[in-house]
Amino acid sequence: MSKVGRSEIRVDAFDKASGRTKYYEDRVPADALYVRIKHAEIAHGFVKSVDKSAAEAIPGVVKVLDCFDVPDLPFPTAGHPWSMDPGHQDIADRHLLNQHVRYWGDDVAVVIAENEVAAHQGVRALKVEYESLPFVLDVQKAMEDGAPQLHEAFPNNILKHTGMKKGDYSSAIKEPGLICIDKWYDTPTVQHCHIENHGCFAWQEDDRLVVVSSTQIPHIIRRVVGQALGRPWGDIEIVKPYIGGGFGNKQDALYEPLCAWCSTQVGGRCVRLDCSREETFVSNRVRHAIRFHIVSWLRKDGTIAARKVECFSNQGAYASHGHSIVAKAMGSFPQHYPCENMECDAYTVFTNRPAAGAMRGYGMPQASFADESNIEDCAKALGMDSYEFRKKNVMPKGFHDAFSGNTNYYDSFRECMTKGAAFIDYERKKKEYANDTGDIRRGIGMATFWYNTAVYPISLETSSNRMLLNLDGTVTFQCGETEIGQGADTAYAQMVAEAVGLKSYRDVHVKSCQDTDITPTGLGAYASRQTYVAGFSIRQTADLLREKILNYANEVTRQAVANMDIVDGNIIRKGDGSVLMSLSELAMTAQYNPVHSEHITAESTYTIRNNAYSFGCTFAEVEVDIPMCKVTLKNIVNVHDCGNLINPALAEAQVHGGMSMAIGYGLSEQLIFDEKTGKPLNGNLLDYKLSTFMDHPHLEAEFVENPEPTSPFGTKALGEPPACSGAPAIRNAILDATGVAIDRNPINPHVLYAEFSKAGLIHDDWKEAK
């Protein structure tokens, strides 16, 4: 029986349910010194001086270091594969501590102390003198001439501008009879909010540096620590234990370089650097707030004649993942609703906000909100049902993208839409809710998305792994694509069992903890690529391992290699299906053979030069209390075509989590800043409104399993896709319920109050009376 396509229990479930699983903080040695960071209390300016004396006098304080002590080695932080092409390398704009303060919360000094209290007291005792400069929080304002400049090398704060053109937009819009929908859409700054904050600890061993970190990308962190400290990359060893979520925040070098450097400043002693929740909100990474301007030109027959899309991405203070996020957002438009004439432009702009980096969906939740809001608005302007408008215009079967090499092999969009509409009873409810007129009105809405599974051809896609045949016939497996909660280790166990021919996925021991000295090099967990890319190398390494096993079996059994197979942990003769020996017998014989001893192991690297479209949609049903400006989500379903499911139960669980994030993105989550000071105002889990148990209805996850032809296991992206289409589906349901098109998220009561007032749905009698 196949080992994949089954809802197996997670390999780490028992340990996590019993509290045994060790995260980085559970492994910190008791004698580690504490590092606390002094964060800037201005949004923009220069540190003139740091008076360390009071901090140094506090008992327990071991060392105080500031932005004038760090090496002048600017380094990049993005968790991208290194590129040998200097033109394709990430921007190196960080120092370990910064003299030029670029956002409220920037790192200017550290206190290293024997205990946590002394470290805190030391930070409070630091006297930092600043020269304040004007700051800018808004993308458009940051691009203006004369705006405060964040980085010398980037005039008008534009990190990068790229565009793409198809057909002839300016001629196409002259076609008589076109309807023009010209609108702006705004998406917010949000944070990942993994429940485990980032932290790490570091020490020197044999003159090398070891860093244990809550990261998604150990091998990339090794390179960045090397760059930041000016040390050979082989001097650095990164260990990644279990982590309490990442969602892209930990796909960046956060504080590993600073922590490692602090160790070198105290004679190589072990130092720990733990982010508080408040630091996680402000001084880690956030999702890019992207503003979109979309101009759609429509024919009365419901086709799209031309479209112009401008995207302005708020990068915050440092480049991190930079332009790649908005580039991905922009790139989604021409393929989502292909039309003959398109013009797209994307700008990434520095502002004095926290640095934006990778976050689940990597630009697509933003693009999806704008695109699917606009498509809804287009359908409404044409008087068409948006479901039909989408079916008419969304990417057709057979669509091929020359750049990525992706092909839409099936009619996945329409299959997903049909399934979602059936589940939620779309047509009937759409008609029924149209009759609602009172204070409380119901509505139904939808949105679709597509998503690229991996990062080819923009960046390197490589996967390596090692398989070791144990003496009991089980296989130990190691790879560089990390478990971050998504269930990757379980998917690997199932795929390895399938590819090698083991009896059960339980016969695969996945070494969850990566150690860059030992684990085959991989790029970690990001994009939605782990299962897809690891699939290639798992199949390849399994073939190598099988070859070694069968070659040895040939010596022992004298049967031709071609006439043997490995099935359910046994070596069998294909001719009659008889069991020749078990893998355990083979391994024991091979290991302890006094004449020809062999420990059977295989290792390989696969360079993936494919990518795969993943598709899906959300249908949402809301009840809007107009006078209360309150939206209740009554029903929501996501449908995904992510190819064959390796583990349906875990796939469903992934979808739930993404839907939850999308609900927060649609209705409540937003990091807000004081316009007067640039200070973040709600960087904690009380004031930042993450969805709770009370904010969700039942979350329904459905699948269309069209096997992905490029994947050895027929699988493709699922990690990020569930976060993409939820927010616009909710927005469109609110539009359906109230007739009010809200062009920004989150759609919270503050926004609804303003929009409903403008639409004349509510009247502020008090204000009028005044």
Binding positions for another protein, rule: CB under 8 A:
7, 9-10, 12-23, 25-26, 30, 117, 192-197, 242-245, 247, 276-277, 484-487, 649-650, 652-653, 656-661, 663, 684-686, 690-694, 696, 698-699
Give the residue with the Cβ less far from another protein, 148 or 722: 722
Q: What are phi and psi of 690, to 5 degrees?
A: -75, 145
What are residue 86's phi and psi, to 5 degrees?
A: -55, -30
Secondary element (H or E) of residue 565: strand 564-567
Shortest distance, CB of residue 424 to another protein, whole angstroms? 17
Nearer of residues 26 and 175 to another protein, judged by Cβ: 26
Least CB distance to another protein at residue 696 (A): 6
Residue 279 C-beta: closest distance to another protein, Å: 11
Q: Which is nearer to another protein, 193 or 742 (CB)?
A: 193
Spatial separation of the C-alpha atoms in residues 169 and 384, rounded to whole Å: 24
Output the smallest distance, CB 661 to another protein, in A: 7
CB 422 to another protein: min, Å: 20
What b/e sequence results for 510-523 when a residue is b if at least 16 CB atoms lie within 10 Å of its CB, and e otherwise?
Answer: bebbbbbeebbbbb
Nearer to another protein, 22 or 763 (CB): 22
Of the pair 124, 431, the CB lying nearest another protein is at 124
Question: Beta 440-452 vs 613-625: how paired, if at all?
Answer: antiparallel
Q: How far is the CB of 245 from another protein (least distance, A)?
A: 4
Query: 17 or 754, CB closer to another protein?
Result: 17
Rounded to the nearest 10°, the torsion over CA 264, 270, 276, 282 is: 20
DSSP string, 465-489: EEEEE-TTS-EEEEESSPPSSS-HH
* Helical packing angle, 412-424 and 386-393, nearest 10°: 160
Nearer to another protein, 41 or 278 (CB): 278
Cβ of residue 293: shortest distance to another protein, in angstroms? 32
Say which amino acid occupies 15. D
Provide the minimum distance between the beta carbon of 656 and another protein in the complex, in angstroms, as a whole number: 4
Contact 624, 418 (CB under 8 A): no
Q: How far is the CB of 437 from another protein (least distance, A)?
A: 28
User: Distance between CA 650 and CA 489 in Å, rounded?
Assistant: 11
Nearer to another protein, 592 or 693 (CB): 693
Tell me the β-bridge partners of 215: none
Q: Can you tell me whether residue 184 is helix, strand or coil?
A: strand
CB of 116 to another protein, least distance (A): 9
Shortest distance, CB of residue 443 to another protein, whole angstroms? 22
Question: How many angstroms separate the first and last alpha carbons of the chain?
Answer: 75
User: Residue 100's beta-bridge partner residues?
Assistant: 46
Report in angstroms how near the CB of residue 61 gets to another protein at its nearest. Answer: 17
CA-wise closest residue to 568 among 629, 518, 519, 498? 498
- In the chain, DSSP finds a helix count (H) and a strand count (E) of 20, 27
- At position 605, the amino acid (one-letter code) is T
> What H or E segment, with its residue span, contains residue 112?
strand 107-113
Question: Please, which residue, 591 or 684, has the CB nearer to another protein?
Answer: 684
Which neighbouring-strand residues pair with 673? 680
- Name residues whose C-beta falls within 8 Å of residue 305's C-beta, 6 or more positions apart in sequence: 172, 173, 175, 178, 297, 298, 299, 339, 340, 341
CB of 633 to another protein, least distance (A): 12
Distance CA 156, CA 150 (A): 9
Say which amino acid occupies 383.
G
Phi-psi region of 369 (alpha: psi -120 to 50; beta: other; left: phi over 0): alpha
Q: Which residue's CB is nearer to another protein, number 10 or number 419? A: 10
If the CB atoms of residues 443 and 658 are measured against another protein, the closer one turns out to be 658
Q: Give the alpha-carbon dihedral of 467, 468, 471, 474, to 10 degrees.
A: -20
